[in-house]
Amino acid sequence: MPAHFPSTATDYRALAARRLPRFLFDYVDGGAGDEHTLAANLDDFAALRLRQRVLRNVDGIDTRAVIVGEDCALPLALAPIGLAGMMARRGEAQAARVAEAAGVPFTLSTVGICPLAEVQAARRTPFWFQLYMLRDRGVVAALLDEAWAADCRTLVFTVDLPLPGLRHRDVRNGLEARGAAGALLRLRQVLARPRWLREVALGGKPLKFGCLAQQVPNASNLDAFKAWVDTQFDPSVTWQDIEWLRARWKGRLLLKGILDVEDARSAVQVGADGIVVSNHGGRQQDPVASSISMLPSIAAAVGERTEVLLDGGVRSGSDIFKALALGARGVLIGRPWVWALAGAGSDGLRDYLGMLRRELYLAMTFAGVTRIADINPDSLHFDPLHSDSLHGGSP
C-alpha cells in the first residue's frame, strides 16, 4: 500500500522527483537564472483571492468551454513539453490519449520524443503542434507540412526563444556539458533510478527526437542534438517572419510567449488567431514579470480581437478560475502534467486532470457562477486592473 495517494500538483512533483534521474527532473522543474520569475508565477497566483458568494443557486454548474474553436470539458490544454517522452515511457503518446479521454487538447512539442505519426495513432481526434522559428526555414516548412498531414489544425508557435535561457540546474547536472564528463555525470544519475532505466530508457525505446529525426543526424544522441539546435536558434526573427508563417499555415495559429501589450497588438496585426500570455514557465529570462500579472492589461488591450490564453503558474482548479477572471479564455499547464505522468503514469495524469475539474467546479460553486462565461473580474476580491497586489499588474 502506498504511504499516501497523490492529490495535488505538489504531490505529483514529489513522486516525479523520486522516479526521474536528477537531470531530467530539474530540466522540467527548474527555471532561468535565480528562478525569481519561476517563483513569481506561483506567488502572484497565490496573492489573488476569490470572492465568495452564497445563496446564488449554483445547481447545474458547467465547466465546459470552447478554446480556439474546440469544445473542451474544461478551459485547459496540455502545454508542449520538450523531452516528455523521457519522463515516462512514450510520454507524449500516453499524455495525448489521457487528454483526449479527459476532453482537453494536447500539444506536441517539436523537441518531443514521440513523432507526429505516433501521437496521431494514439488518438481519434486532432491534437495541437508546437514549433519554433528555426534558422533553416526549409525545416520549418517541412514540419508544418508534416503537422498538417498528421491532422494537426492548431499550431502553437513559440516566439520567446531567440536564444535558450541560462538554466543553472541544467549546468550543474551535466545537461549543458558535452563530451565524456557530462555523459558520465548523467549516467550516474540514471543508475540511481533503476526503475526509470528499466521502464523508460530500455522499455521506451527509441529515445530520439521523433519530430526532427529527418532533419537531425543522430537524433538519438543528446550531445549531437544540442549541437544542431544551437545552430538553429535565430535571434534575427521579426514580425515579418511571423507574417510568412501566417501565410503558409492554413490552420489556427497561436503565438506563445507574449508578455507585453505592444507585442500582443502586433500579434493581432499579423493575423494570429490567439496568443498565449507566457514567460516560458520562467525558463527564459530572469527576472521578468509573472504571466498572471501581465494578463489583465493584455486581455484588456486585445481580448476582444483575439483569443487570449495563459501559461505559467497554473497548479489548481482555483488557478484556472483566477486566470479566467482576469481575462483568459483558457489556460495551458506544463510542469504539472509531466509530474503526474512521470510520478504515477497515465492513471496519475487522469486523476490529476479530474482533480483540476473538481477544484474548478468548487471554485465556481463558492463564487456563485454556473458557467465559464460568467467568471469575470468581479469574481475576485479586488479590481485587478488597478491593483498593486501583482507585480507588473497595472496596464
The upper half-sphere exposure of residue 243, i.e. CA atoms within 13 Å in the direction of its Cβ, equals 6
Q: Are 312 and 281 in contact (CB under 8 A)?
A: yes
The position carrying cell 510520478 is 343
Residue labelled with grid coordinates 519554433? 132
Q: Is 391 a catalytic residue?
A: no
Alpha-carbon span 19 to 107, nearest angstrom: 24
DSSP 276-324: EE--GGGTSSSS---HHHHHHHHHHHHTTTSEEEEESS--SHHHHHHHH
Any bridge partners for residue 331, and if so which? Answer: 76, 310
The residue annotated as part of the active site, out of 36, 168, 280, 391, is 280
> Where are the strands (E) in 55-118, listed by range?
65-67, 70-72, 76-78, 107-108
Longest dimension (CA), the chain: 66
Q: Which three cell numbers stand for residue 111?
A: 523537441
Report yes or no: 175 and 275 within 8 Å, Cβ to Cβ.
Answer: no
What is the Cα–Cα distance from 266 to 257, expressed in whole angstroms?
Answer: 13
Which residues, in sequence order, are bridge partners of residue 345?
A: none
Handedness of CA 142, 145, 149, 154 (dihedral sign): positive
Positions marked active-site: 280
